[in-house]
Chains A and B, each alone.
Chain A
Amino acid sequence: MSVPNQAAALRVAIVGAGPSGLYAAVELLRRDARATVELYDRQPCFGGLVRSGVSPDHAERRRVSAFYERLALASGRFRFHGNVEIGERISHADLCHHHDAVIYASGLSADRSLGIAGEDLPGSHAASDFVAWYNGHPDHAQRHYDFDHERAVVVGNGNVALDVARMLLLGAARLRHTDIAEHALQALAGSRIREVVILGRRGPAQASFTAPELLELIEQDEFEVVIENDNSFQHPAEADPGIALRLRLFEEIRRRPGSAGARRLVLRFLATPLEIVGGERVTAIRVADNELVAHADGALRARAGTSTHVIDAGLVFRSVGYRGRPPAGLPFDAATGVVPNRAGRVFDPRGGDQYRGVYVAGWLKRGPRGVIGSNKPCSRETVDALLQDAAAGKLECVADRDALDALLAECGADRVDYKGWKAIDEQERLNGLACGRPRVKLVEMTDLLAAARAPARRRAA
């Protein structure tokens, strides 16, 4: 759809340079040949969770960010404003005033808690924080983890739980060839962890591990994989081909010969954590054995039995999902954990009125689910809504481009533009070349900003 009769070209702000923001930017630039996109991120870097969430041993997936980044740039109608947090020097109202529309694609960054005793003990951590730490996110680089106990427990049955387990078990010899943050590589090189236990409340058929990640467990030879409390035999005739495939892969894991490897991963099903145990720090986790009960709607839910077990562990990671806080100025539905929206249009849940020119995409819009590519149709739907509203004359930009540039100038010298991000990117690659790694990330904000400001010096080097 085009917007031929519009007096001025659309100027759209997108908040968040992760997958949903990049997909939205490229879609908008492709669909409207005159539109300009101003992409904001609180980090000076592109990628969002592609940079700080995707596991270092899956770095091929990070290429997606550079791919869409280049597509956006090739339009000639795209600018990046990194290290700009909306709600600080630039407010939501500022964004609305200086753009025809604003798309929030800033995701969900807080973790869900387990709601059990002992969760605040030292040694009990959010998996999302640990992931950000080993990926070198500057907000998390200062964290400290003790790998001095032989066992760690990860609560949750999604791919993030498997990511955490692999990072703890792969060993420094393997991790050294990845783009894992240097501080994490050093810390994990001294790890005493021999076993990681992943706990799931239900069985293999209900777990959210995807088939490629299960296949990866079969193909790797760095650690042994053991399945405990398997109830797959109770549901042999699985009709969903996707789940049937996963169950076949679990069966292969079960039949896989035990390796002589010193480390092992235990996938323990039908277990609900009751309490994280410890005095000064975590020493164990107490779990209840579950059984699965069919409910009226056909769903199988876990019911805690009477028998409990104590698993000794020095670290407990909770990996039971993400939740978010609303961006300042937007409504938020705490129950569903998303910004109330219809096909991406933000609306007031009480009055039902549309927030004119305000849209959401990605996890803020649909909740923390799906893979990277799930954001593409999601962002496309939001851009559809935006362009329909533009064609209907519902969008309006009060200030002109000069006013926007004046506003951006108020952010000061710390704002990182696209050239600044490329300078960071090149510096990290150069640092990697020097030690045979694909990339060594800059993890301190001062270093990131210094690299962003020094493109001329770097080119000379």
Chain B
Amino acid sequence: MAYVILGTCINDAACVDVCPVACIHPAPAEAGFATADMLYIDPQICIDCNACAEACPINAIVREQDLTPKLLRYKTLNAEMALARSKVA
């Protein structure tokens, strides 16, 4: 299980500051932040600590198991974006 960033994300990156395992990308210091459509959580690394969800100023991060059917798509989207990043890196 992991946390998932939703499409309402505004790239505030408060989540990046509090994530203990640095699984949220792109961080403001990383390439691609300036042009990122949204941030995402790498589900392979996320440890389910809830810190990001607490830090998000607009409640755009939810637990995977709490995703409504309409939002399930964002679980895939986060995972896809994480995979695309690891391929490039």
> Which of A's residues lie within 8 Å of B, judged by CB?
58, 60-61, 63-64, 67-68, 210-213, 215-216, 219, 241-242, 244-246, 370-374, 376-377
Q: Contacts of A67 on B, CB cut-off 8 Å?
A: 57-58
- Given A210-B37, A242-B37, does the pair A215, B77 have CB atoms closer than 8 Å? yes
Q: Contacts of A63 on B, CB cut-off 8 Å?
A: 57-59
Least CB distance from A245 to B in Å reads 7
- In the complex, are the beta carbons of A241 and B13 less than 8 A apart? no
Instruction: Give 17 A-B contacts (CB < 8 Å), ordered by A residue.
Output: A63-B57, A63-B58, A64-B10, A64-B57, A211-B7, A211-B77, A212-B38, A241-B85, A241-B87, A242-B36, A244-B84, A245-B77, A245-B84, A372-B12, A373-B11, A374-B11, A376-B13
- In the complex, are the beta carbons of A215 and B73 less than 8 A apart? yes
Least CB distance from B77 to A in Å reads 7
Chain B: interface size category = 20 to 34
- Of the candidates B8, B57, B58, B81, which one forms a contact with A245 in the assembled complex, judged by CB atoms under 8 Å apart? B81
Inter-chain residue pair count (beta carbon < 8 A): 72
Q: Contacts of A372 on B, CB cut-off 8 Å?
A: 10-12
Known A-B contacts: A64-B10, A213-B7. Give 4 more (CB < 8 A).
A215-B73, A241-B85, A244-B84, A370-B34
Least CB distance from B64 to A in Å reads 17
Q: Contacts of B34 on A, CB cut-off 8 Å?
A: 370, 374
- In the complex, are the beta carbons of A212 and B8 less than 8 A apart? yes
Q: Contacts of A242 on B, CB cut-off 8 Å?
A: 32, 35-37
B23 at the interface (CB under 8 A from A): no
- In the complex, are the beta carbons of B28 and A377 less than 8 A apart? yes
- In the complex, are the beta carbons of B37 and A373 less than 8 A apart? no
Contact flags (1/0) for B4-20 with A, using CB distance below 8 Å?
A: 00111111110000000
Q: How far is the CA of A371 from the CA of B12 in the complex (A)?
A: 9
B48 at the interface (CB under 8 A from A): no
- In the complex, are the beta carbons of A211 and B12 less than 8 A apart? no
Q: How far is the CA of A210 from the CA of B11 in the complex (A)?
A: 12
- In the complex, are the beta carbons of A373 and B13 less than 8 A apart? yes
Q: Contacts of B2 on A, CB cut-off 8 Å?
A: none
Interface centre among A67, A219, A374 (most CB of B within 10 A): A374
Least CB distance from A130 to B in Å reads 22
Q: How far is the CA of A246 from the CA of B84 in the complex (A)?
A: 13
- In the complex, are the beta carbons of B60 and A376 less than 8 A apart? no
B21 at the interface (CB under 8 A from A): no
